[in-house]
Copies of this chain bind each other. A is one copy, B any other.
Amino acid sequence: MVTITAAGASELGTRAKPAFSLDDLNPYADGCPSRRLLDRIGDKWTVLVVGTLDDGPRRFSDIRRSVAGISQKMLTQTLRGLERDGLVNRTVYAEVPPRVEYELTVAGTTLLAPLKALERWSIEHFGDVSASWELYDDTHADSAES
């Protein structure tokens, strides 16, 4: 069913846009909900966390170790977000040392492909970009070279 209300677009006032048609789903529009997905993808950790889940279910601490530098708070927050998005399943095992496993849903798996593509791109083109950095910084060494 899923009735989509234009939450967040209401404060614009003038435009009475009750719902979004599929044609309106271009991420370049300001109030467009699909932009929220890009925002989520764009957050610092989502890409990395999802990336660690392609090998099957993993425990909280396990993921934490895989993604170097992530704090407990951010991992929890990221996982909650992904769970809310329906991209990750959270399973709690009632044991004495609590065990929680996270696993990609079917939808989550579909996201994995483009994400891995990005990952691959950043690895493959690191050399080019790094070279470009030096060139740029060299060319623009006119001010503030410290």
Mark A residues whose CB is within 8 Å of B. 2, 4, 25-30, 33-35, 37-39, 41-44, 47-48, 51-52, 66-69, 83-87, 107, 110-111, 113-115, 117-123, 125-137
Contact call B25/A123, Cβ cutoff below 8 A: yes
Contact call B85/A123, Cβ cutoff below 8 A: no
Assess A118 versus B118: contact at CB under 8 Å? Given A2-B127, A131-B86.
yes
Residues of B within 8 A of A37 (CB): 121-122, 125-126, 129
Residues of B within 8 A of A84 (CB): 132-133, 136-137
Residues of B within 8 A of A107 (CB): 125, 128-129, 132
Whole-angstrom distance between the Cβ of A52 and the nearest chain B Cβ: 7
